[in-house]
């Protein structure tokens, strides 16, 4: 196998509101090449009132975070997020949720959350799905 544990088993899709589909919506996501880091960004739609497409900001942010992680996976998620924001040349803003699995410390997961988006972790044990954590907002 190309991937060595731990890594995320990921399926991904974005389903923008109908009226925003022509531009691909305002949200974005990225999964790293090694599938150990993923991020979801929710572009702030209010920028549309100023004729700014928030989707450009969130998509560039995710792409840059993926590139930064792929080139330096040992960087903290906060460092990756801050650097990606600094490199973003588009107007706008976004929430960001990032998560990564440590390749050297099996079972260690790091997260970073900016804004009012959150995440939940579910675990399947003995055929039952249980919620084990919800990020605090």
pLDDT, mean of residues 89-101: 96
pTM: 0.85
- CB-based contact 119:77 (threshold 8 Å): no
d(CA 95, CA 121): 19
> Rounded CA gap, 66 and 84, in Å?
9
Q: For the range 80-83, what are the long-range contacts, defined as Cβ-Cβ under 8 Å and sequence gap of 24 or more?
A: 80/112, 81/112, 81/114
For every residue of 84-135, DSSP letters joined together read HHHH--SS--EEEEEEEE-SSSTT-EEEEEESS---EEEEEETTEEEEEEE-
- In angstroms, the first-to-last Cα distance of the chain is 38
The whole-angstrom separation of Cα 4 and Cα 120 is: 24
Is the predicted pLDDT of residue 1 greater than 60, yes or no? no
CA atoms of 43 and 60, how far apart (whole Å):
11
List pLDDT tens digits, range 14-61: 877 777 877 778 899 999 999 999 999 999 999 989 999 999 999 999
Residue 134, token pair as written in the block: 């919800």
C-alpha–C-alpha distance, residues 98 and 137, integer Å? 14
Residue ranges with strand state E in 4-50: 27-31, 37-43
């Amino acid at each position: 196998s190309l991937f060595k544990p731990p890594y995320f088993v990921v399926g991904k899709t974005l389903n923008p509101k109908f009226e925003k589909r022509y531009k691909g919506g305002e949200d974005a996501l990225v999964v790293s090449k090694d599938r150990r880091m993923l991020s979801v960004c929710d572009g702030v739609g209010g920028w549309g009132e100023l004729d700014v497409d928030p989707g450009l900001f969130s998509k560039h942010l995710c792409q840059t975070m993926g590139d930064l992680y792929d080139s330096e996976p040992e960087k903290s998620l906060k460092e990756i997020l801050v650097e990606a924001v600094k490199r973003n040349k588009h107007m706008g803003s976004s929430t960001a949720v990032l998560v990564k699995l440590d390749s050297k410390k099996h079972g260690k997961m790091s997260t970073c959350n900016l804004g009012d988006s959150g995440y939940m972790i579910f675990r399947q044990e003995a055929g039952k799905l249980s919620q084990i954590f919800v990020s605090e907002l």
